[in-house]
Amino acid sequence: MRRILSLGGGGIKGAATAAYLAHLEEASGRRIADCFDLIAGTSTGGIIAIALASGVKASDLVEFYIEDGPAIFPKDRPTAGWCGFVSRLRRTKYDPTALREALTRRLGERLLGGASTRLVIPAVQPARAEMYLFKTRHHPLFRHDHRLHAVDVAMATSAAPTYLPQHLVPNGGPFADGGLWANNPVGVAVAEAVSYLDWAPETLRVLSIETPQEPQVIPDKGLLAWSNSLTVLDRLGALQSSAARGTALALMRDVGNMPGPQRFMEGMTGGFPKGYFGLDETEQIKHLIGLGAAEARKHGNRIGEMFLSTSKAPFTPCP
């Protein structure tokens, strides 16, 4: 069996994902990165994926959100005067310095190519209006990304428009948040497995963990109800997530009505209170951590049996 882990985006809501994984590591006594053959992560999920594959424990990532979250997403300060207000509209909501410093403290000078497992990290190249996938060297065609610093890849996948500026990757140009097209990267992960890695669909087991999402309803009130709604991005994200899930299941040939055990599991499924969790609401970090741990306990035994009972085969990058 080949085991795949998919980690969705969501800003500070990644604290719930980190807590979920920390509970699994504690219960199993194994590191997450030692048990999965491929990890895909977008935005905050990309940060977690890169850190896990770089040797950081999930419990240390919980501390990352607790200790550094408030500095990465500080509370807005009142802006004096109309000119100050207009100036604020012209720039992103947060300065990326705190995020870079926090990532550097944990990842140092590690390169993406030093990952202990295969990685796929979605991003966007804004100047070309194209999607991009940062990858470890798990196929002979992938000859460049492994030389990049892990911090730069983490900054690139999490550069959410309006929140953080585009991140300039050395010799690669500016990048923006992969959540613009693959906030749930599970479809990307399974496509990578069956295409470039040539893994048989029937051998795949997938654990997909998204950050807490609130229920989304598409209004039937015309274009203005769509374009003026503060939740339009959430609605589009929910549609993308549904499409990614369907793509993964189709590629795995595990659509619920076929013989054999189900091989696709999801973490933190279901809707959460509307407006309760936000991308930058750091006052909710403790609640997110409690939620992640509680959700992991619900299905921890089954997840442990399916994904964490044995270590994966060693990952050797292509020469």
Q: What is the pLDDT of residues 94-112, one digit of tens each?
A: 999 999 999 999 999 999 9
Q: Which residue has the tokens 């951590």?
A: 289
Quick one: 36 exposed, middle or buried, by C-beta within 10 A (0-12, 13-18, 19+)? buried
Question: Which residue in the list 6, 28, 37, 43 is annotated as catalytic?
Answer: 43
pLDDT for position 84: 44
Element (H, E) at 6: strand 2-7
Quick one: 100 exposed, middle or buried, by C-beta within 10 A (0-12, 13-18, 19+)? middle
Q: How many other C-beta atoms can be found within 10 angstroms of the C-beta atom of residue 230?
A: 7
Segments of the chain scoring below 50 in pLDDT: 77-87, 258-260
Helix extents (H) in the chain: 14-28, 44-53, 58-72, 81-89, 97-107, 150-157, 179-182, 186-194, 223-227, 232-252, 285-307
Contacts of 62 (CB under 8 A, 6+ apart): 15, 18, 19, 22, 289
Nearest to 44 by CA among 95, 91, 89, 102: 102
Q: Which residue has the tokens 């500095």?
A: 71
C-alpha 233: how far from chain center:
17
CA distance 191 to 223: 34
Catalytic residue at 37?
no
Q: Which residue has the tokens 């053959």?
A: 37
Q: Helix or strand or coil: residue 121?
A: strand
pLDDT for position 105: 97
Q: Indicate the pTM of the whole model.
A: 0.92
pLDDT for position 242: 85
Catalytic residue at 34?
no
pLDDT for position 226: 59
Label residue 125 left, alpha or beta by phi (over 0 means left) and psi (-120 to 50 means alpha): beta
The residue type found at 291 is L
pLDDT for position 83: 44
CA distance 121 to 109: 18
Q: Helix or strand or coil: residue 122?
A: strand
Label residue 42 left, alpha or beta by phi (over 0 means left) and psi (-120 to 50 means alpha): beta
pLDDT for position 260: 46
The residue type found at 196 is Y
Question: Which residue in the list 152, 177, 254, 280 is annotated as catalytic?
Answer: 177
pLDDT for position 82: 45
pLDDT for position 271: 63
CA distance 312 to 117: 9
CA distance 162 to 125: 16
